[in-house]
A and B are shown apart, each in its own frame.
Chain A
């Protein structure tokens, strides 16, 4: 699901050559830089919880190559790659959301259905949280429970810096997205272990 990109243009040999020249004037160094950029892009998409990061990394490279081939002036190639990668990630998310809508068993669209969809997402998130190791779950709960100085104390209690705490929590949260995706796609019933989610209208 969602791995298909909107490719209406394929990377051509001249476009690739132009991109490589832009990466480095010396062919071998350019090839190494190409691999490095691709690796960075894959990691970029992985950090954002995107499925199939290699496909999207290639899509990003292709788009940049195309723009260069079309003569677009790009002053800061790194920043340009970053901007295109963000766009590609956004488009992937939108495609995924659209596919999710299309895959539903019956038509929806009103506020009640939206509320039920949201409830399902939250129930899946609950389920995913409960699947985390207890220590990780406690870290997430503690982080979002605390504010300000209390968060710094939380970092100290774990023997890590405040910055490390922030990035660790962020990675944990983003790591839940894959679980959330699987849960929603599997149509798992919203019955997390906490067992309490009768908010609003539910039968």
Chain B
């Protein structure tokens, strides 16, 4: 049990369907009478979902979460709601809406420098894309405090060959450090999609447009030499129209090329649909304030 789920681990066991029947019924009987207990259950539910989204559950808990907790549409809705909420929190945080007590701190200054590097890198990619007739992926960088959104849309070609969409969200210099870097992948794989990682980035949230047929998906992140550095198995299919969301700990990335492989569960005798996207991870060097 991770520390974020303390001290309500019994409630977490209940949520994960591990509580013995007798104890479960007794608990549910108390939940209506005991408002405090019910409120703690709601909080434990939020924390459990959050832990899942940031990949902080053990493999066993994650499997149980997916098999039991996500079996109900109620809980899947809560997962989606929390996902949206975290993005909003991330944006508000990045927008400097929280108290700027550390606005001039060494840490934030180092972030500013890192952000400047990131913006420069983005400009370079944009420039390169234009120079080469736009062979790179569409890149939208719109989260930097010091840069207005810049975008390049590749290729007016009616038959797009590199239509992966990467949306990159560098973090703002706030004490609310942990960045969730969002990368959106849609359409057929093409040129490598850049994944920028600031020193504050903790999680890379990859949103993949997947078909509506497969009931579940396996995913693997492969390094340049083909070695698997991260895997996810049996992820439930997203709701129709929603992307498959993969939360990859940022620590799994170094600067360099990667491939993300997403394999759908085959139906009946069919062939398992497979998507592969080349990624290019770029770690911003942590800048010294001095």
- Taken together as a complex, chains A and B put the C-alpha atoms of A118 and B38 apart, in Å, by 29
Known: A129-B97, A198-B142. A82 touches B32 (CB 8 A): yes
- Taken together as a complex, chains A and B put the C-alpha atoms of A113 and B77 apart, in Å, by 18
Known: A129-B92, A163-B7. A122 touches B30 (CB 8 A): no
- Taken together as a complex, chains A and B put the C-alpha atoms of A148 and B51 apart, in Å, by 11
CB distance from A70 to the nearest CB of B (A): 21
Interface size on B, residues (CB 8 A): 65
In this complex, the member of A85, A129, A137, A166 whose beta carbon has the largest number of chain B beta carbons within 10 angstroms is A166
Q: Is B110 in contact with chain A by the CB < 8 A criterion?
A: no
> Does the CB pair B99–A134 fall under 8 Å?
yes
Which of A76, A82, A126 makes the CB contact (< 8 A) with B88?
A126
> Does the CB pair A79–B4 fall under 8 Å?
no
> Does the CB pair B32–A200 fall under 8 Å?
no
Chain B residue nearest to A48 in the complex (CB):
B42
- Taken together as a complex, chains A and B put the C-alpha atoms of A176 and B13 apart, in Å, by 27
Interface size on A, residues (CB 8 A): 67
Contacts of B198 in A (CB 8 A): none
Contacts of B29 in A (CB 8 A): 76-79, 82
CB distance from B47 to the nearest CB of A (A): 7
Contacts of A81 in B (CB 8 A): 32
Contacts of A118 in B (CB 8 A): 84, 242
Binary interface profile of B, 70-101, with partner A (CB < 8 Å = 1, else 0)?
Answer: 00011001000000111111011111011100
Q: Is A125 in contact with chain B by the CB < 8 A criterion?
A: yes
CB distance from A101 to the nearest CB of B (A): 11
Which of B2, B25, B87 makes the CB contact (< 8 A) with A79?
B25
Chain A residue nearest to B44 in the complex (CB):
A166
Chain B residue nearest to A112 in the complex (CB):
B241
B16-41 contacts to A, CB under 8 A, are 25-26, 28-33, 35-36, 38-40
Q: Is B177 in contact with chain A by the CB < 8 A criterion?
A: yes
Q: Is A9 in contact with chain B by the CB < 8 A criterion?
A: no
> Does the CB pair B91–A197 fall under 8 Å?
yes
Known: A90-B73, A114-B240, A170-B46. A145 touches B176 (CB 8 A): yes
> Does the CB pair B178–A125 fall under 8 Å?
no
- Taken together as a complex, chains A and B put the C-alpha atoms of A193 and B92 apart, in Å, by 9
Q: Is B67 in contact with chain A by the CB < 8 A criterion?
A: no
Contacts of A138 in B (CB 8 A): 98-99
Binds B, one of A10-18, A20-28, A39-47: A39-47
In this complex, the member of A115, A129, A145, A152 whose beta carbon has the largest number of chain B beta carbons within 10 angstroms is A145
> Does the CB pair A78–B46 fall under 8 Å?
no
> Does the CB pair B39–A47 fall under 8 Å?
yes
- Taken together as a complex, chains A and B put the C-alpha atoms of A113 and B239 apart, in Å, by 13
- Taken together as a complex, chains A and B put the C-alpha atoms of A195 and B143 apart, in Å, by 9
11 contacts between A and B (CB under 8 A): A47-B42, A82-B31, A82-B32, A109-B240, A122-B87, A122-B91, A126-B92, A134-B99, A141-B89, A166-B8, A167-B39
4 nearest A-B residue pairs (beta carbon): A114-B241, A194-B95, A78-B29, A125-B88
